[in-house]
Amino acid sequence: MKPQIENLPISGVKLVRVNRISDSRGYFVETYARPDFVASGLDYEFIQDNESRSEMPGTVRGLHFQVPPFAQTKLVRVLRGRVLDVIVDLRRSSPTYGKHAAVELNETTGEQLLVPVGFAHGYCALEPQTVIFYKVDQVYSAAHERGIHWGDPGLAIAWPVAGEGAIVSEKDQRLPNFDYTSVYFE
């Protein structure tokens, strides 16, 4: 069954709903079937799967992206818990350049977020032991990894945590604000 696709306010970003079949045992769902995604206009060849677990609510990861030729499209979903998932448009020619969108993803609905090339991506765990899973269409390259500081006041992201209340890696704390990030995507 083809996924249901909802366009988010920023061009190219999609919320993907797939059909869950539930009964007394639980549920079954096909989270990704390439022919169905292609038929829905989402023609990406995912080549790597990633999984991340955040032990504590308030854990923030991001805002990350990779630059060409290793720029990635991501298909993100939550296996356990809930996250506030955030994307920032890095495409300079886009009318939403420098703007962000945020959506809650959780294990209950199973919705997925399609984040195309040209966006920074991050999330905040809203529950203990939250597990996030995502497919990417390009392998990870440390030399091509970049990021934007999650708490950049110029982005005005309404994170559910602030400053000292956030659990953030040292690497992510050192990321520059948006205004100090080079343009990699036209």
Judge contact between 156 and 88, C-beta under 8 A: no
Predicted TM-score of the model (pTM): 0.95
Percentage, residues of the chain above pLDDT 70: 100
Residue type, 75: L
Q: Is the pLDDT of residue 163 over 90?
A: no
134 noted as active-site residue: yes
Q: How confident is the model at residue 39 (pLDDT cuts 50, 70, 90)?
A: very high
Neighbours of 1 (CB within 10 A): 9
Q: Is 149 considered catalytic here? A: no
- Give the model's pLDDT for residue 118: 98
Pick the CATH number of 44-180 from 2.60.120.10, 1.10.3720.10, 3.30.1330.200, 2.40.50.100: 2.60.120.10
CA of residue 121 relative to chain centroid, distance: 5
Cα→Cα distances 7→15, 19, 60, Å: 6, 18, 25
Q: Identify the active-site residue in 32, 44, 123, 134.
A: 134
The mean per-residue pLDDT over the stretch 12-23 comes to 94
SS (H, E, C) the chain: CCCEEEECCCCCCEEEECCEEEECCEEEECCCCHHHHHHCCCCCCCCEEEEEEECCCCEEEEEEEECCCCCCCEEEEEEECEEEEEEEECECCCCCCCCEEEEEEECCCCCEEEECCCEEEEEEECCCCEEEEEEECCCCCHHHEEECCCCCCCCCCCCCCCHHHCECCHHHHCCCCHHHCCCCEC
Query: Average pLDDT, stretch 150-172?
Result: 96
Provide the pLDDT for residue 2: 85
- The active-site residue, picked from 64, 100, 121, 149, is 64
| Lookup: tokens for 28 | 């079954």
How large is the average pLDDT for residues 120-141?
A: 98
Q: Is the pLDDT of residue 1 over 80?
A: no
Q: Please name the residues in contact with 52: beta carbons below 8 A apart, sequence gap of 6 or more.
A: 61, 131, 132
In this predicted structure, the answer to whether residue 140 has a pLDDT above a threshold of 80 is: yes
pLDDT, residue 164, reads 87
* Angstrom distance (rounded) from CA 46 to CA 152: 30
Tens-digit pLDDT profile for residues 64-92? 999 999 999 999 999 999 999 999 999 99
pLDDT band at 5 (very low <50, low <70, confident <90, very high): very high
* Closest by CA position to 57, among listed 123, 125, 105, 122: 125
Per-domain residue ranges of the chain? 44-180
Average pLDDT over residues 34-60: 96
Calculate the dihedral angle through the C-alpha atoms of 132, 137, 141, 145, rounding to the nearest 10 degrees.
-70
State the pLDDT at residue 28.
94
Mean pLDDT of 95-111: 97
